[in-house]
Amino acid sequence: MSKNIHLILHDKNILKGLILLSIPIFLNNVLKSLHDLVDAIFVARMDGYNQLELDSAISAINIYFPVNFLFLSIGIGLSVGAVAIVSQYIGAKRDDLAKKYASQLMLIGFIISLLIVGILIFISDVVFDHHLIALAMGARGVGLDFASKYFLIRGFDLLFIFPFLIYQSIRQAEGETLKPVLLNVIAIILNMIFTGLFIVVFKMGVVGAAYATVLANALITPFIFIDLFYSKKHLRISVKEMKLDHQTVEDVIKFALPASFGQGMTALGFIIIQSLVLSYGVEVSTGFGIGSRLTTILLYPVIALSNVNASYIGMNIGHHNIERAKRSYILTRYLSLLIMVIGVLIMLPFRYDVVAFILGNNTSRSYEIGVEFAFWFLLTQPVMAIFQTFIGLYNGAGLSKYTMFLSLLRLWFFRIPLVLILMLVFEEGNYASIFYALMISNIMVLPFGFYFESKIRYEMQVTLHA
pLDDT in tens, the chain (466 residues): 578 888 888 888 999 999 988 888 888 777 776 666 777 788 888 888 888 888 888 888 888 888 888 888 888 888 888 888 888 888 888 888 889 989 999 999 999 999 999 999 999 988 898 999 999 888 888 889 999 999 999 999 999 999 999 999 999 888 888 899 899 889 988 998 999 999 989 999 899 999 999 999 999 999 999 999 999 888 999 999 888 878 778 887 887 888 788 878 888 888 888 788 888 888 888 888 787 777 777 888 899 899 899 889 988 998 889 999 999 999 999 999 999 999 999 889 988 888 888 787 788 888 898 888 888 888 889 999 999 999 999 988 888 889 889 989 998 999 999 988 988 888 877 888 887 888 899 999 999 999 999 999 888 776 665 4
Burial of 105 (0-12, 13-18, 19+ CB in 10 A): buried
CA dihedral 261, 403, 342, 438 (to 10 degrees): 60
Cβ 415 vs Cβ 273: under 8 Å:
yes
| Domain extents in the chain | 3-454
CA–CA separation, 87 vs 95, rounded Å? 10
Whole-number pLDDT of residue 166:
94
User: DSSP secondary-structure letter at 240?
Assistant: G
434: amino acid identity, one letter: I
Whole-number pLDDT of residue 425:
86
Whole-number pLDDT of residue 462:
67
Spell out the residues 6+ positions from residue 3 whose beta carbon is closer than 8 angstroms to its own. none
CA dihedral 349, 351, 352, 356 (to 10 degrees): 150
379: amino acid identity, one letter: L
CA–CA separation, 197 vs 185, rounded Å? 18
CA–CA separation, 340 vs 384, rounded Å? 9
Which among 170, 453, 447 has a CA at the least distance from the CA of 326? 453
CA–CA separation, 158 vs 162, rounded Å? 6
CA–CA separation, 277 vs 462, rounded Å? 42
The count of C-alpha atoms lying within 13 angstroms of the C-alpha of 25, restricted to the half-sphere facing its C-beta, is 24
User: DSSP secondary-structure letter at 225?
Assistant: H
